[in-house]
Amino acid sequence: MARLARLTVPGHPHHVIQRGNNRQPIFATDEDRRFLLQLLDMHARPLGVAIHGYVLMDNHFHLLATPRDETGLPKLMQAVGRRYVRHFNERQSRTGTLWEGRYRSTLVQAERYLLACMAYMDLNPVRAGLAGSAAEYPWSSHRFHVGAAADRVITPHPLFWALGNTPFAREQAYAELVANGIPAPVRDLLTDATLRGWAVGDPAYLSRLADDTPRRPSPIARGRPRKIPVG
């Protein structure tokens, strides 16, 4: 079966997952994590990609990003991926691939799922037992969004700005959103859709995408229509 082409649509937020080959660790030290963030900071804005959120896990990382054009996100992932592999291989005296094939990504309907996707990423370390809370984990954008740290990588999405009229109000509202958690159906939807390359959104959003993209944004429905969880 032919490999499904990625959906990359300018102006829409994309949830991206890049995994290590055979689930192997992609970071050996904190310096490795800092270097990946430096690469994202170096390349994202020149390529017209706004990064709204990220989390670096042991054997994969997530991004939530909006590209300005169709080439920005693929070019970002290529530039960061290649340079990071050279860095990692040199430091670990190894050769060969590090990534599990190409990165996975999907479009996310902003008004319905963007904030949920941010919280979903922030809570990944908690679900994995790497931290007791999202705020305790240093390798995500959560601390920026709750006002605990600056972060050059992040360009806040307008929906984050809309959470409050002051920095404190926005940060408190976002902290409460994360503290309330993400329903398991929404979490599973975001994961499954990203790995399979299908867009996440309500029927109207998916219909608009189908009119604007050369590739189907969602699988052909079989049997009864599936209810899409509300984020």
How far CA 154 is from CA of 5, 40, 55, 199, in Å, comes to: 27, 10, 12, 23
What pLDDT was estimated at residue 229?
Answer: 53
As a whole number of angstroms, the distance between CA 9 and CA 69 comes to 7
| Amino acid 225: pLDDT | 47
Residue 204, classified by CB atoms within 10 Å of its CB into exposed (0-12), middle (13-18) or buried (19+), is: exposed
- How far is it, in rounded angstroms, from Cα 108 to Cα 77? 18
pLDDT band at 226, cuts 50/70/90?
Answer: low
Percent of the chain having pLDDT more than 70?
A: 93
Q: Domain 14-197 carries which CATH code? A: 3.30.70.1290
- Domains of the chain, by residue range, sit at 14-197
d(CA 48, CA 106): 18
Q: How much of the chain exceeds pLDDT 90, in percent?
A: 81
pTM of the model: 0.91
d(CA 209, CA 215): 9
Least Cα distance to 51 among 113, 130, 114 occurs for 114
Q: Provide the pLDDT for residue 167.
A: 96
**Residue 106 forms beta bridges with which residues?**
15
Q: Which of 67, 110, 118, 115 is nearest to 202 (CA)?
A: 110
Q: Which region among 83-97, 121-135, 204-218 has the lowest average model confidence (pLDDT)? A: 204-218
Cβ atoms 140, 56 nearer than 8 A? yes
The tens digit of pLDDT for each residue in 41-68 reads 999 999 999 999 999 999 999 999 999 9
